Structure 1
Amino acid sequence: MAEVEETGLHTDAQRSAYVRTLYTTSYTAAGPGQRDQALAVMPACTRSASAGH
């Protein structure tokens, strides 16, 4: 959570937009055959972004 706080994202809406950007970046960067793996880590990203509330 400290890393997210350091970004200056203080509201749920800001954190949500940040996580969605990370999702998109991860999915786009994943090579062929790796997109399932990129999708699999998305729930962990969501949990990390909402930790501490």
Structure 2
Amino acid sequence: MEHRVVSLRLPVLAQDVLLALFITVMQVQGTIVRNAGEVIQRRSPTSENWDMSC
């Protein structure tokens, strides 16, 4: 009796989609974690303390 090895590999397109989803989730998670501890006040160009020398 001959035994065959079954290949469980996903097609390349499916691997690319899974990798893209993983990277997207990691980027969003990192952005959320980074911004959770920071309070950033952004000044508009019309604010009275705007400095054009930056």
Larger Rg, first or second structure (1 or 2):
2
TM-score of the aligned structures, taking structure 1 as reference length: 0.41
Between structures 1 and 2, the one with greater helix share:
1
TM-score of the aligned structures, taking structure 2 as reference length: 0.41
Q: Tell me: higher relative CO, structure 1 or 2? Use CA pairs within 8 A at least 6 residues apart.
A: 1
